[in-house]
Amino acid sequence: MLYWFLKFFGLGPWLKAIWRPYVEGAENLPQTGGAILASNHLSFCDSFFMPLMVRRRVTFLAKAEYFTTPGLKGMLSRAFFSGIGQVPIDRDDADAAKGALTAGVRILRRGDLLGIYPEGTRSPDGRLYKGKTGVARMALEAGVPVVPVVMIDTEKTMPTGRKLPHLRPRPGIRFGKPLDFSRYEGLAGDRFVERSMTDEVMYELMQLSGQEYLDVYASKMKLLLGANRGFGARQGIGHADAVGATRDDRVPVERAG
């Protein structure tokens, strides 16, 4: 109930009036039945704008931190995400992650839409990163299509670390044609098949978004960027130079100095 209240009477009308998000490819969304909406992930606000512009309900697999943060902020976060029916997933706990995937399959089998970010975390620099194979496992086990979704300019609307969003530019949501993986029916658990499916999803996201693609996990890149910032501080170089070192494939931090 909270989901629909916020969408039509609470937060939703304000988001539409202030930011005027636009949609491309809405005809590619299934009108009925389960489907995975696999999206790139640029900003915290992705999880607000995308479901706002989809007529059907979208349930997300949300990071566990939204449900476990202590204090007043954590309590409000937990109440909000639980109230709108989001499913927590612990990205560092294999058993918890397996449970979340099982919950995702259950959502899909009852004919609902499931939103997921295959990269597993927000892009640290606007580029598109290697996808994790959970999206493929759920698509195979539930027997549903995967709709590639691209968020546009949301990293400019709400940059990482910013308290308040910018009012411009207008954020956009682009839906690609559904990907049918029925040719792999019965092959759930085959890591080569799941890797191939996931790479196909990421290729479609790259084509739709125009983002540069890196075949490494975003979580590893965040660690590398953090290490390079620390190295840069010790050597007296700026953040831009440290990031440039990763982009130009210069000497890794572990070997430098």
Does pLDDT of 153 surpass 80?
A: yes
Domain ranges of the chain: 2-213, 218-247
| Phi, psi dihedrals of residue 37, rounded to the nearest 5° | -100, 100
**Residue 65 token pair:** 């931190």
Question: What is residue 116's predicted lDDT score, i.e. its pLDDT?
Answer: 93
The mean of the pLDDT values for the chain is: 82
2-213: what fold? Glycerol-3-phosphate (1)-acyltransferase (3.40.1130)
CA angle 229, 211, 240 (to 5 degrees): 20
> Tokens 């007529």 correspond to what residue?
55
Least confident segment among 56-60, 96-100, 158-162, 205-209: 96-100
Does pLDDT of 92 surpass 70?
A: no
The per-residue DSSP string of 183-243 comes to: GGTT-TT-HHHHHHHHHHHHHHHHHHH---EESS-HHHHHHHHHHHHHHHHHHT--HHHHH
Query: pLDDT-derived band of residue 226, with 50, 70 and 90 as boundaries?
Result: confident
Question: What is residue 83's predicted lDDT score, i.e. its pLDDT?
Answer: 62
Residues 5-58 have pLDDT tens digits of 777 777 788 888 899 999 999 999 999 999 999 999 999 889 889 988 999 999
According to the 3-state scheme, what is the secondary structure of 83-143? Answer: HCCCEEECCCCHHHHHHHHHHHHHHHHCCCEEEECCCCCCCCCCCEECCCCHHHHHHHHHC
Does pLDDT of 164 surpass 90?
A: no
Spatial CB neighbours of 105, under 8 Å, sequence gap ≥ 6: 138, 141, 142
Query: pLDDT-derived band of residue 168, with 50, 70 and 90 as boundaries?
Result: confident
For the chain, what percent of residues have pLDDT higher than 90? 54
